[in-house]
Structure 1
């Protein structure tokens, strides 16, 4: 598995069609969590403090994902569904056809931070 030095390297290695989505997601997370550090954990980029990850993101062959705390997903399940997106216990998947709205990224990022006590 490829190890990435930073967010730029991860995005550059992602499928080309997803790179603009990842750039936008990164920017929105940086705006939402301005004092959090950019880090790489579990071979994907994220934002957090030390070893505590508030939000992470990833690109796959057919979709991208935003990963936050379980509590954030539960708290915003209706917003996720209203956006036409699918959620797992700790993530929301999205694609070019159905990108994740900036407002939802902000809600999930802030809720995850609160849920984790960071």
Structure 2
């Protein structure tokens, strides 16, 4: 995206339909577990905020979608997130493979609780 999107709708609309569908489902998933959050664009990517603070960001790319940051969790959480981890604070979900929306929801919930 060449210019900063005005809102999450504009951000998602800038992607091909297959990627936009995944981004929209990530958006719905996060909104479902963070009903009091507001949507924003921060760092040029979709962001959910609570009480004036960024909680979780997501982004689309050519071959994956990403979620940021990733909270620390117990051993079971770490095992679940490990296949998607791309650095300490990022997970990448490959396009063309099932997206673990339950994990997206859990990450958003954990971030909101910290």
Q: TM-score, normalised by structure 1?
A: 0.82
Q: Distance in 1 between matches of 2:113 and 2:51?
A: 16
Q: Distance in 2 between matches of 1:78 and 1:56?
A: 22
Instruction: Report the counterpart of residue 110 of structure 1 in structure 2.
Output: 109
- Asked if the contact 2:68–2:89 (Cα under 8 Å) also holds between the matched residues in 1, the reply is yes
Which runs of 5 or more structure 1 residues have no equivalent in the other structure? none
Deviating runs (4+, > 6 A) in structure 1? none
- Asked if the contact 1:25–1:105 (Cα under 8 Å) also holds between the matched residues in 2, the reply is yes
Across the aligned residues of Structure 1 and Structure 2, the Cα RMSD in angstroms comes to 1.7
- Displacement of 1:97 after TM fit? 2.7
Instruction: Report the counterpart of residue 15 of structure 2 in structure 1.
Output: 14
Secondary structure (helix, strand or coil) at the match of 1:45 reads strand
- Displacement of 1:9 after TM fit? 0.2
Is 1:47 aligned with 2:83? Answer: no
Task: State how many pairs are aligned.
Answer: 110
- Displacement of 1:51 after TM fit? 4.7
- Displacement of 1:50 after TM fit? 5.7
